[in-house]
């Protein structure tokens, strides 16, 4: 083979797409029933080739005096916009270790986007409406998603070794207990069962107070 031929082969090798795998994750509650809307993410052992967060950012809205969605997952480095779609004002804040911030009373699109650059779970609240509760899960990977009604999620990832983690807003256990090692070249399906029951749900709570109805 000529020198130019060897160079061409090398360039073709470098430009070839990374071989990928599809990983199917099943998440079950303590009683063997499927767990819907669990956050699942895979962090590769090598972060050198991780793509950057999408430049379009993400949105955590406020609708009917609730955070929408209740749980939002983003890659570290993402800017999140907090529009207020209600006809009243909200005052969004968080004291979480992963991100502490405050957006004082505002409506519409008055609030500036917030950068979430540290992995972790950020719990959101509203200083005006105490029952409002939301979460932003910041992960250091673009390989994440949510389980469906069957407790299942499929993720397409480059072949390799990963740390697989699971989080849910009603977990009673430490998140580290739901972390597993996985080699996608050997394992295509993984089932994870919660060791203890979920905490009670407060999602249907509604305030009977009209004290702050004008805000």
Give per-residue pLDDT as tens, 160-192. Answer: 999 999 999 999 877 778 999 999 999 999 999
Co-location of 86 and 124 in the same domain: yes
* Residue owning tokens 């997952």: 73
Would residue 2 count as lying in a domain?
no
pTM, rounded to two decimals? 0.84
Rounded Cα distance between 42 and 88, Å, is 39
Residue 28's Cβ-count burial label (10 Å; 0-12, 13-18, 19+) is middle
Confidence of residue 10 (pLDDT cuts 50, 70, 90): very low
72 and 120 housed in the same domain: yes
pLDDT band at 19 (very low <50, low <70, confident <90, very high): low
- What is the spatial distance between Cα 117 and Cα 79, in angstroms, rounded to a whole number? 9
User: Average pLDDT over the chain, rounded to whole?
Assistant: 85
- Do residues 113 and 162 both lie within one domain? no
Give the closest residue to 139 by CA, choosing from 26, 43, 24: 43
Q: How far is the C-alpha of 36 from the C-alpha of 214, rounded, in Å? A: 35
Q: Considering the domain boundaries, does residue 1 fall inside one?
A: no
pLDDT at 49: 64
- Which domain CATH number covers 186? 2.60.40.1120
Q: Which of 39, 25, 184, 191 is nearest to 119 (CA)?
A: 39
* Domain boundaries, position 88: 51-140
Q: Domains in the chain: how many in total?
A: 2
Could you tell me if residue 209 is inside a domain?
Answer: no
Q: Whole-angstrom Cα distance, residue 15 to residue 20?
A: 15
Where do the H-state alpha helices sit in the chain? 3-15
**4 occurs within a structural domain:** no
Q: Is residue 129 part of a domain?
A: yes
Q: How confident is the model at residue 48 (pLDDT cuts 50, 70, 90)?
A: low
């Amino acid at each position: 083979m000529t020198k130019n031929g060897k160079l061409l082969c090398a360039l073709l090798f470098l430009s070839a797409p990374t071989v990928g795998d599809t990983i199917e994750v099943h998440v079950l509650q303590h009683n063997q029933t499927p767990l819907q809307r669990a956050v699942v993410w895979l962090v590769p052992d090598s972060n050198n080739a991780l793509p950057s967060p999408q430049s379009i950012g993400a949105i955590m809205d406020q609708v009917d005096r609730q955070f929408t969605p209740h749980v939002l997952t983003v890659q570290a480095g993402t800017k999140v916009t907090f529009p207020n779609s209600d006809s009243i004002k909200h005052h969004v804040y968080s004291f979480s270790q992963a991100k502490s911030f405050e957006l004082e009373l505002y409506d519409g699109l008055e609030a500036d986007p917030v950068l979430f650059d540290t992995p972790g779970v950020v719990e959101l609240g509203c200083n005006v409406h105490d029952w409002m509760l939301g979460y932003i899960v910041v992960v250091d990977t673009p390989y994440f998603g949510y389980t469906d009604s069957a407790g299942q999620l499929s993720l397409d990832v480059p072949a390799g070794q990963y740390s697989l983690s699971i989080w849910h807003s009603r977990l009673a256990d430490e998140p580290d207990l739901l972390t597993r090692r996985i080699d996608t070249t050997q394992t295509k399906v993984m089932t994870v069962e919660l060791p203890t029951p979920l905490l009670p749900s407060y999602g249907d709570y509604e305030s009977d107070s009209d004290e702050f109805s004008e805000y």
